[in-house]
Structure 1
Amino acid sequence: MKLALITRRYPPDIGGAEKVLSYLAPALAAEGADVTVLTAHAPGLAKREEVATPAGRLTVIRLATSRARFVGTWLYMRNLRRWLTEHAIDVAYVSMLKHDAYVAVAQGRRLGFPVVLRPEGAGATGDLAWQAWGRFGKAIARRCRDADAIVSISQAITDELLQAGFAAKRIRALPNGVPIPPTPWQPRPDWQAAPRAHFIGRLAPEKGLDTLIDAWPLVLATHPRAKLTLIGEGPERAALAGQVERLGLRGAVDLPGATDDAKGQLLASDLFLLSSREEGMSIALLEAMALGIPLVASAIPGNQQLVQDRVQGRLAPPNDPAALAQVILEQWAEFDQAALMGQTARRRVAEEFSIAAVARKHIDLFQSLLDAKGRGRTILE
């Protein structure tokens, strides 16, 4: 099966969607597929990269673009259209319902290959919201409704797709997936002396990190040496750093930037925190659950899809610093129970959200679309 996995951004760009695709691409290749990732070129990166996999083939092609606004998008779309014209593929799988999707759906109709689209988020910052206000968003929305299938990673995204006029029969519920680390999180022997909590993700308004920082003085009243580390980059970095200074939290709250070792950071932590106002299906939350670290997440639909309060972790109301601080303190006050919840979360991810299982479900979807088009089997049984 020749798959084109299309995404404007791909690692080393850092973000939830980028990380999901960086896990999914090699997992699809491990299932025997010939996977080509088509993405935008960035300075300092090779235009073509062959990635070793145990079974199929994975190639990353970085298409020429430009840093100039609008010009860069036009170049990327032109080069994506040209590549799809010049290379035979079986299926195109597109991240986000934006310009890439517009090109891919048109080429799929013209050349006869099925196109599967994948919204990456819901709410005010999600794909459907962008189509309502983005440049050419309405035209792109009309084209996207012609895709052969839409993968939905959450009920919130499914609801938005239906409200936007996407056909229910084309929406397929498929979750995000993550690797399952062989070594789980273990409590640090001296954690109570100076407990550590970590957030890992994009420093953006929808992550609710201002609420988390506002909660931290209340945490420090019980644990004066508690340390909060917000790992990542994003548009809110300067504002969050200013908030830390205003609240006198220098030394208690740290913003070290991005990391390529999220697992190592969490293994050295005592609590994972996700205070989001909006989520599709958080890859950072899934990774924390896969490790088995105790966690606190906001009680929003995307997180509630993964975490049941007091079963896999704790949930706190969004936008409520006092309530968030209280739940954090309860996790540390009942740390043995918090650790048991972490073990339950790890088991759930292993059973339902492993990247290998998710990749197999994707292959089944792609093959069903090929069969419906009469293109026969493309992977040898």
Structure 2
Amino acid sequence: MTAEAPDAPLKLALISRRYPPLIGGAERVLGYLAEALAREGADVSVLTSAVGEAAAAPAREEIRARGGRLVVHRLPTSPLRFVGTWLYMRNLANWLRSNPVDLAYVSMLKHDAHAALGVAARRGFPVVLRPEGAGDTGDIAWQARGNFGGRIARRCKDADAYVAISKPVRDELTAAGYDGARIHDLPNGVPIPIRPWQRRPDWRDAPRASFVGRLAPEKDLPTLLSAWPIVRESFPTARLVLVGEGPERPALARLAAGLGLGAEAFAMPGATGDVESELRASDLFVLPSSEEGMSIALLEAMALGVPAVASAIPGNRRLVVDFKHGRLAPPGDAGALARTIVEQWSNFDRAFHMTRAARGRVEQQYAIRAVARRHLQLFRELIARKRSG
């Protein structure tokens, strides 16, 4: 850690194994936060792996950010599972040893956190850890069953602070023995588009509903696909688009074929780096998840002002009040989900009115600029505390 002048930009390392162009909720929220921190004047270095689609991206990429500086470093790794993890951790630790850092902010309580905390113990900079979810797919569950999970959990308990994006994340941290005094409740944040979503005059000719996110088991997309033939009984030209990639893609393609959903009714175009354009082209956003911490995709839809239907699970109920900001449907119930979608389109004026309330809520509570400033306040407090002994 270096001694900086009081007004010197904070040198922040944001660490995430996956980062855009890899697209998922965690990747997008870290990307938004990194850019917002830089705009607030921080010197931000994103440390990530050159894996998958990111392998073709530049090893070092400087992104324009008014006010500060944002540089993405894609560290060498390997597609081989265990070798890749070892190489990435080694290169991550070497970067942190060789570059001045005031604070490290780490996505997920996994291998990245273990490496960062090891270097921080010797170099003296604070480390903030950010679990990305709760439940069976969350960080605490991974520590209980993953390779070296117990060892990583023990080191993670040495972190200076933890960011909880939702109450379930906080509850899991405290239940697993993490110090509650070091847990800080900071939500996800998203940009607020200047121009809100507008309904298409001819939307009834071919209404389109979109899901955006990873095609993963916890998103419960089979329930959404099973609901679609029911939706098409009321809206025969309705089209469902699943935007994203993930392990469930082959099974979803088979299910769609078995349900008789052809190209006119269903599409999986893959991941996109332009979520806003996908949402603007849609007449409804649908999130049928069985588990969510705080869905970045749902926040993005609300911030833009797209009519929404989401499963009535705790993470979604935190964002959406039924009939006020959108509609909630019982999780895992294809019939109920279909009826709720049909109701939104059958009462589109009411759905449109809900979008304005949803957009207002995100502006007030989840705007990325305000979330970034709250992070910076926490970071400055931790840095000052560390430097004072």
TM-score (norm 2): 0.95
Q: What is the RMSD of the two structures over their aligned residues, measured on CA atoms?
A: 1.1
Please show how residues 291-310 of structure 1 align to structure 2 within 5 Å: 291-310=304-323
Structure 1 residue 145 displacement after superposition: 1.0
Equivalent residue, structure 2, for 1:65: 77
Equivalent residue, structure 2, for 1:28: 37
- 1:308-346 CA distances to partner (integer Å, 9 max, x unpaired)? 111110000110001101111111111111111111000
Query: Quick one: distance in 2 between partners of 1:62 and 1:255?
Result: 28
Equivalent residue, structure 2, for 1:265: 278
Equivalent residue, structure 2, for 1:357: 370
Equivalent residue, structure 2, for 1:238: 250
Q: Which amino acid aligns with 1:212?
A: L
Query: Quick one: distance in 1 between partners of 2:63 and 2:235?
Result: 46
Query: Quick one: distance in 2 between partners of 1:267 and 1:375?
Result: 50
Q: Which amino acid aligns with 2:243?
A: I
2:38–2:68 contact (8 Å) kept in structure 1: yes
Unpaired runs of at least 5, structure 1? 377-381
1:165 aligns with 2:174: no
Equivalent in 141, 146, 162 of residue 129 of structure 1: 141
Equivalent in 12, 19, 22 of residue 10 of structure 1: 19
2:222–2:252 contact (8 Å) kept in structure 1: yes
- 1:198-228 CA distances to partner (integer Å, 9 max, x unpaired)? 1111111110100000011111111111111
Query: Quick one: distance in 2 between partners of 1:235 and 1:214?
Result: 19
Tell me how many residue pairs correspond in the alignment: 376
Equivalent residue, structure 2, for 1:379: none
Unpaired runs of at least 5, structure 2? 1-9
Query: Quick one: distance in 2 between partners of 1:375 and 1:9?
Result: 34
Equivalent residue, structure 2, for 1:90: 102
Aligned-partner SS, 2:371: helix
1:138 aligns with 2:138: no
Aligned-partner SS, 2:282: coil
Q: Which amino acid aligns with 2:221?
A: L
Structure 1 residue 75 displacement after superposition: 0.9
Equivalent residue, structure 1, for 2:3: none
Aligned-partner SS, 2:337: helix
2:21–2:273 contact (8 Å) kept in structure 1: no
Q: Which amino acid aligns with 2:300?
A: E
TM-score (norm 1): 0.97
Please show how residues 310-329 of structure 1 align to structure 2 within 5 Å: 310-329=323-342
Equivalent in 339, 349, 352 of residue 339 of structure 1: 352
Query: Quick one: distance in 2 between partners of 1:375 and 1:40?
Result: 34
Equivalent in 291, 295, 313 of residue 278 of structure 1: 291
1:149 aligns with 2:161: yes
Aligned-partner SS, 1:373: helix
- 1:143-181 CA distances to partner (integer Å, 9 max, x unpaired)? 111100000101111111111111110110001111111
Segments of 4+ in structure 1 off by > 6 A? none
Structure 1 residue 374 displacement after superposition: 3.3
Q: Which amino acid aligns with 1:270?
A: D
Please show how residues 104-115 of structure 1 align to structure 2 within 5 Å: 104-115=116-127
Structure 1 residue 375 displacement after superposition: 5.3
Structure 1 residue 56 displacement after superposition: 0.9
- With over 3 angstroms needed to count, the CA separation of the structure-2 counterparts of 1:61 and 1:104, relative to structure 1, is same
Query: Quick one: distance in 2 between partners of 1:375 and 1:246?
Result: 64
Query: Quick one: distance in 1 between partners of 2:105 and 2:38?
Result: 14
Q: Which amino acid aligns with 1:15?
A: G
